Structure 1
Amino acid sequence: MELEGKIAVVTGVSRGIGLATVKLLLEKGMRVVGWGRTAPELQHDRFIYIPCDVRSMEEVQHAYASTLQQTNGHVAVLVNNAGLGIAGKMDEMSPQDWHTMFETNVNGVFYCTRLVLPDMKEAEEGHVINISSIAGTTGIEQMSGYCGTKHAVRGISHSLYKEVRDYGIKVTCIYPGSVKTNFFDHMEGVTVSENMMRPEDIASTILHALESHPNYHHVDIEVRPLMPKGKRQK
């Protein structure tokens, strides 16, 4: 897709992967609208921030209407990045934490994607990027809730691309391993380190998928740090 001048919506833009993606898309000449609970530290004449908690269908609908009003155009790219993880054994996890993960990681993808698809179909062009996780391909002890949500994102992505491919719309699901973000702030036993991938690395992968030839479709992209434990000791 030719990106310059087109409109992208990125969710979860306060920092990390979302913010890195916004910056890279701006460099490519896109008009970018960021939806999130917290405003990023970013000022740019082609960036608009709209407060939005993707757990709320009403807030998403308001954010979408505001996006159309402020850009006077249709959304060509949607990056469903907003997400969170809460660790805990299933029999010890509170229903509130369980629902928070599913409402954010799964319902949020549905609320956002359903709104952009009609205009993408009419334009016969569009790209939805869903950020899953390695947790969406395997099981992880004490992460059953989070793994469940990211497996759901995978299934949604695989089903959706088959629904919309004939309209010229792509759906790409990305499965990152450990990324140096605030994701691990409240997880015991996990320390953020320089051996993790950078948010900029994931943003570059998103850009690569977006800029591919119209008939070349990245369905799944799994990315991991090469040396998650650092260089071997000689």
Structure 2
Amino acid sequence: MDLSGKVAIITGVSKGIGRATVELLLARGMQVAGWGRTAPADFQHPRFHFIECDIRQEAEVQKAYQATEKALDKEVHVLVNNAGLGNFGPIDGFSSEQWHEMFDTNVHGLFYCTRAVLPAMKRQQLGHIINVASLAGTAGTANLAGYCATKYAVRGFSDALFKEVRPQGVRVTCVMPGSVETNFGGKEPGQEPDPHKMQPEDIAAAIVHALEAPQTVMISELQMRPTQVK
């Protein structure tokens, strides 16, 4: 799909993969609405519109979608469900509140955002939904059980959704990165890139690769790992 002039919504844009994807889609000529609780610091662009939204709240998602339509005056062609968080530890070592926080963001919020954009995408017979999951959605890991559960849910949702909407010309891609050097989990990226981790820009490039595939092609899943491991 030619991205120039088209409209994308990206969730979780303050830093990391979300911000890197914003910058790359703007470079491709898109108009981008960034939804999140926090705007990207020191970032302005005439085709970027930050819309404050807590995707865990269904009513806020509806308002953000209406604000996006009003601000950009165009139908939405791309949704990147990137917002996510992880609370790690043994199952009997973290609270029910932390469990619900993960599902409310990683699963329920993703559902609210997807449901908001689908009617227009079906109507225009054109659209692409990118769900950023994780390799944690392919294999369980000790002390990541809650996070793995949310990412397994995202992968299953994506697999079912693409089969549901492909007759209307809507594409769905589940992107599953391994280790990425971001602020995820509260860790700060190092001064020099870690050769054993991917960079946010690498994941953004994979997202653009899936979006720019010919309309006759749907990349349904992308698994990504660092080339070298420690």
Q: Which residue of 2 aligns with 1:2?
A: 2
1:71 maps to amino acid: L
- TM-score normalised by the chain length of structure 1: 0.94
TM-score normalised by L of structure 2:
0.96
Relative to 1, partners in 2 of residues 1:184 and 1:97: Cα closer, same or farther, differing over 3 Å?
Answer: same
Q: Deviations over 1:27-75 (max 9, x none)?
A: 0000000001111021000000001111111111111110011111111
Q: Distance in 1 between matches of 2:118 and 2:10?
A: 15
Cα RMSD over matched residues?
1.2
* Secondary structure of the structure 2 residue equivalent to 1:75: coil
Shift of 1:200: 0.2
Alignment pair present for 1:100 and 2:101: yes
% identity of equivalent residues: 54
- Show structure 2 runs of 5+ residues with no match: none
Cα separation, 2, equivalents of 1:17 and 1:83: 11
CA–CA separation in structure 1 for the residues paired with 2:87 and 2:94: 9
5 Å-filtered alignment, 1:195-214, equals 195-214=196-215
Say if 2:30 is the partner of 1:30: yes
1:50 and 1:7 map into 2 onto residues whose CA distance is 14
Give me the whole-angstrom Cα distance separating, in 1, the residues matched to 2:113 and 2:196: 33
Deviations 1:127-152 (A, max 9, x none): 00000000000001001100000000
Letter in 2 for 1:6: K
The farther-off stretch of 157-166 and 84-93 is 84-93
Structure 1 SS opposite 2:171: strand
User: Which residue does the alignment assign to 2:80?
Assistant: 79
1:180 equivalent in structure 2: 181
Deviations 1:72-129 (A, max 9, x none): 1111000000000010111122000000000000001100000101100111000000
How is 1:1-234 mapped onto 2 (pairs within 5 angstroms)?
1-41=1-41, 42-185=43-186, 193-229=194-230
Cα offset, 1:184, TM superposition: 2.9
| Count of aligned pairs | 225
State the partner residue of 1:232.
Answer: none
Cα distance in 1 between the residues matched to 2:36 and 2:47: 17
- Partners of 2:225 and 2:156 lie apart in 1 by 21
Query: Within 1, Cα distance between the matches of 2:54 and 2:12?
Result: 9
Contact 2:85–2:185 (CA under 8 A) maintained in structure 1:
no
Contact 1:180 1:194 in 2 (8 A): no
Unaligned 5+ segments in structure 1 are 230-234
